[in-house]
Amino acid sequence: MSKPRILVARAVFPEVITRLEQHFEVESNPTDEAWSKPQLIARLKGKQGAFTTGGDRIDAEVLVACPDLKICANMAVGYNNFDLDAMTTAGVLATNAPDVLTETTADFGFALLMATARRITESEHFLRAGKWSQWSYDMFAGSDIHGATLGILGMGRIGQGIAKRGAHGFGMKVIYHNRSRLDAALEADCKASYVSKEELLRSADHLVLVLPYSAESHHTIGAAELAMMKPTATLVNIARGGIVDDAALAAALKDRRIAAAGLDVFEGEPKVHPDLLSVPNVVLTPHIASATLPTRMAMADLAASNLIAFFEGKRPPTPLNPSLLATK
């Protein structure tokens, strides 16, 4: 019997490709070219499965052009690159890669918070530019993390990881807002109190965004929200570009309406709003919150496991539209 054909849309670990080749006829992308939609469609035609990353958009146009497709396995917990409704209508199973990146991503969220509050990259640029001539009492004086109020918008697994680091490691007061309130046991674990979005914006000394991107969460943080924040506050976005209005944020940073920001994700990335590149009080990283080798390997392995289980007629570990499995 011939093996199912799959496309691996971006370069991944050779070990994962070898594992996939034991089960599938694999077309991969070893040069890691980021394909345009027509290029993706041309390669996906005739394939029954796809291994995708967050930058590979699977929508109705792709689905109509690739009628053999049965499953797309995302090597990411976020899946805003999938039009899930269109996939479900087309009978295409979607899977993501949750859990395996939670702690690594929470570590990074905290690292970005600390770099932002303590002005680490800004001061390093100053030093590297040869501008450090003497000590002074307020040179790169930032804001405290210990004892400060940590605000978290989006209290899923990663948000909870950040809350625990803040509460238990740094003695922070943790407040959060989420679509639904956590149960009492989880709140106690995270030492976190539920507040309204407005109270979160007004009270947080450091606000971390960890909510999923959707049409509803587009520009959750814009000029009006930034205006509610303390002028001494910092903002960290490790969620998705588009949750923050980057132009409004750049203006707020420039005018010091908030103290600083740390951003790992951007609207229209890998392009970055030019105004963000020209303000000093922002730490910028290229979407690397989950980037440790063990975690990226675990994410890739989970995406591969989803594909393998599906074609073996077993239940894939992390389906996003499991109603399709129930009717199988």
- Residues taking part in catalysis: 240, 269, 287
Q: Shortest Cβ distance from residue 59 to ligand 8YV (Å)? A: 17
Site for ligand 8YV contains 158 (CB under 6 A) = no
Quote the strand ranges of the chain, DSSP E: 5-8, 25-27, 49-52, 71-74, 93-95, 149-153, 173-177, 192-194, 206-209, 234-237, 260-263, 282-284
Interacting residue with ligand 8YV among 48, 102, 237, 290 (CB under 6 A): 290
Quote the strand ranges of 197-255, DSSP E: 206-209, 234-237
Q: Shortest Cβ distance from residue 124 to ligand 8YV (Å)? A: 24
* Three-state SS at 228: helix
Contact 216, 189 (CB under 8 A): no
Q: Shortest Cβ distance from residue 321 to ligand 8YV (Å)? A: 17
CB-wise, 155 or 229, nearer to ligand 8YV?
155
Q: Shortest Cβ distance from residue 80 to ligand 8YV (Å)? A: 8
Site for ligand 8YV contains 101 (CB under 6 A) = yes
Interacting residue with ligand 8YV among 29, 53, 178, 237 (CB under 6 A): 53
Interacting residue with ligand 8YV among 8, 58, 69, 77 (CB under 6 A): 77
Closest-approach residue to ligand 8YV (CB): 54
Q: Shortest Cβ distance from residue 78 to ligand 8YV (Å)? A: 3
**Amino acid letter at 328?**
K
* C-alpha–C-alpha distance, residues 195 and 170, integer Å: 21
Strand partners, 71: 49, 93
CB-wise, 54 or 142, nearer to ligand 8YV?
54
Q: Shortest Cβ distance from residue 247 to ligand 8YV (Å)? A: 22
Applying CB under 6 A, the span of 32-40, 73-81, 132-140, 301-309 interacting with ligand 8YV comes to 73-81
Q: How many residues of this chain interact with ligand 8YV, rule: CB under 6 A?
A: 8
Applying CB under 6 A, the span of 11-19, 75-83, 86-94, 225-233 interacting with ligand 8YV comes to 75-83
Contact 27, 5 (CB under 8 A): yes
Q: Shortest Cβ distance from residue 328 to ligand 8YV (Å)? A: 27
Interacting residue with ligand 8YV among 5, 78, 126, 281 (CB under 6 A): 78
Site for ligand 8YV contains 241 (CB under 6 A) = no
Q: What dihedral angle (degrees, nearest 10) is formed by the CA atoms of 127, 241, 155, 53?
A: -100
Site for ligand 8YV contains 76 (CB under 6 A) = yes
* C-alpha–C-alpha distance, residues 129 and 56, integer Å: 38
Site for ligand 8YV contains 302 (CB under 6 A) = no
CB-wise, 187 or 301, nearer to ligand 8YV?
301
Applying CB under 6 A, the span of 70-78, 149-157, 190-198, 269-277 interacting with ligand 8YV comes to 70-78
Nearest by Cα to 262 from 237, 290, 232: 237
Site for ligand 8YV contains 209 (CB under 6 A) = no
Question: In 10 A of CB 195, how many CB atoms?
Answer: 16
| φ/ψ (deg, to 5) at 152 | -125, 125
Q: Tell me the two tokens of residue 175.
A: 């407040």
* C-alpha–C-alpha distance, residues 292 and 105, integer Å: 9
Q: Tell me which residue has tokens 């054909």.
A: 5
Interior CA angle at 216 toward 295 and 166, to 5°?
Answer: 45
**Amino acid letter at 153?**
L
Report the site for ligand 8YV in 104-133 (rule: CB under 6 A). none
Judged by the rule CB under 6 A, the positions of this chain that interact with ligand 8YV are 53-54, 75-78, 101, 290
